[in-house]
Amino acid sequence: MVPDSSALAHHIDEVALIDQHAHGCWLAAGDRRRFENALNEANTDPLVDSGFDSQLGFAVRAHCAPILGLPKHVEPQAYWERRRQLGEAELARLFLPAANVSDWLVDTGIGADTAGTDEMAAWSGNRAHEVVRLEQVAEQAAAAPGDYASAFEEILHRRAATAVGTKSILAYRGGFDGDLSEPSAAQVARAAGRWRDDGGTRLRDRVLLRFGLHRALRLGKPLQFHVGFGDRDADLHRANPLFLLDFLRQSGDTPIVLLHCYPYEREAGYLAQAFNNVYLDGGLSVNYLGARAPAFIARLLEMAPFRRILYSSDGYGPAELHFLGAALWRNGIHRVLRGFVDEGEWSESDAIRVVDLIARDNAARIYRV
């Protein structure tokens, strides 16, 4: 690496990020198996190979080891031993501040064993805000007495009053293909009756999923979608954001945020150009791509207008992931924009402005944080 003392390099190093989609860090200590499995997103079985033998594993050793006082590229065994000596809270107090994130937007819909917004704020020394998962609201409404639709609406508005946005995991509940129009009240009532009779857990009913999306649209706060890369419970090809076209055509002004997006980041960028209210990020993917993250970040900068690209880590579990997202993003955006400037395609001041847009200004605008 050639040291870069430019204003652009300095700015990228220093800018405080808004991490617009993350989950909580682990609360309690666990064994090595838990940690290594947390280095693999897609596999839902226990790993048979080491989770370190991957781009993410190498990136942890390259970028996280120095935060723990270890040399870059330290061996997995030594990394694990140091990590084990520290509690999860202590790890979070090291990694979260090192990410230089001013605001964490936390999807609280999963992980009883992970931190909520209070711990994330305390450990990082910065602000944390809630993002409400729609499928969790649905399950709460199914468990509530009385009319499902009214219960959903009441819970959504109550929770959203202190939240900055909503999130859908439709990708994990049948995918994006098929009708996503708003169902009628009668359809919702019938579907809710059936679902409650079946126990009201793990919502997969398309009518109720569609109902939740349209209620979130009316709420007007940004609506995040898990898109593309995730675990194999989802059919990846059904999480292609192009299947959202009809839904987006009727989505009005509510910001729609496409998360992760790999390997559909070019399709997502197209949608961000095609609709005034569509945004995208590359969270989760950047961590898993490690040394290949710059190539991915470059593709995020293709069709999407620069006011529609956001930063997130999608960190979940090990606090390394909340830090690593920031470290790899800073590295990658530097490499890509340095190239654009060196080739004479962008001015350096333009590059600095785009860094600010992606790092925090776009998120601050739509989430009002």
**Contact positions toward a copy of itself, by CB under 8 A?**
1, 40-45, 47-49, 53-55, 58-59, 62, 72-73, 229, 231-232, 235-237, 240, 242-243, 245, 249, 262-263, 266-267, 270-271, 273-276, 288-292, 295, 298-299, 301-308, 335, 339-340, 342-347, 350, 357
* Pick 79 or 123: Cβ nearer a copy of itself: 79
Least separation, in Å, of the C-beta of 57 and a copy of itself? 8
Least separation, in Å, of the C-beta of 328 and a copy of itself? 9
* Pick 106 or 278: Cβ nearer a copy of itself: 278
* Pick 300 or 319: Cβ nearer a copy of itself: 300
Least separation, in Å, of the C-beta of 324 and a copy of itself? 12
Least separation, in Å, of the C-beta of 52 and a copy of itself? 9
| Rounded Cα gap, residues 112 and 116, in angstroms | 9
Least separation, in Å, of the C-beta of 90 and a copy of itself? 27
Least separation, in Å, of the C-beta of 243 and a copy of itself? 7
* Pick 191 or 357: Cβ nearer a copy of itself: 357
Least separation, in Å, of the C-beta of 283 and a copy of itself? 15
* Pick 72 or 196: Cβ nearer a copy of itself: 72
* Pick 36 or 205: Cβ nearer a copy of itself: 36
* Pick 62 or 120: Cβ nearer a copy of itself: 62
* Pick 65 or 137: Cβ nearer a copy of itself: 65
Least separation, in Å, of the C-beta of 290 and a copy of itself? 7
Secondary structure string (H, E, C) spanning 294-347: HHHHHHHCCCCCHHHEECCCCCCECHHHHHHHHHHHHHHHHHHHHHHHHCCCCC
